[in-house]
Amino acid sequence: MKRLFLYIALFLLSSLSVSAERFRWLYDIVFEAPERSRVIYNTRDRLEMIIEDMTFVIQIYSNEGVDDEMLKLNLRRRAAEYNMYDTSMKKFSQDKFKGFCLNGTLPDGSIANFYNVMSKKSGLCVQFIVNYTKGDEKKMKALVKSLKEEPAPKVKKKKENRKQKIQKKDAPLKPIKKTTTTPVELYEI
């Protein structure tokens, strides 16, 4: 019976890892999430997604005057906005991101992790928010572990060898094409 349970658990874990999709967002931020993930809101500086039972948000901030104390203060403010309790803050470092993580419980009983990080490579100031339930802790850790900043692969462009068209000496002149619009139509309001 225990072996059967073990085989079923291994099968489920392997099927979860196979169904992950790699997402690339602006600013070369890459992460892996299940294929059933949905993007709810996407702008130039904010991405919000629903990943199974989790909510995942990426927010880009200006990096002017940002230091460790500013990152911590921003995390405390954000926790106060959400009325979080049982909070704890610790250092966070992964790949090219370095900063702080604030973990706490929201009033509805779900858990939220706020990450304020600076990119060592590009200098971006990024905030990741992951809201999840106690049962999704492994998925949350896998999602956060997959966060990276990597440039898009360069695609080699095929050069087109275009031949210049040259009129021959003895050929008759080609007529000049007349425009279909008049200058009055172009500047008409």
What's the pLDDT score for residue 19?
Answer: 56
10-residue mean pLDDT profile of the chain (189 residues): values are: 46 48 84 87 92 91 85 92 93 90 94 92 89 90 89 76 78 75 60
pTM of the full structure: 0.69
H or E element: which one contains 91? strand 85-94
If we measure between CA atoms, which residue out of 58, 19, 61, 15 comes closest to residue 39?
Answer: 58
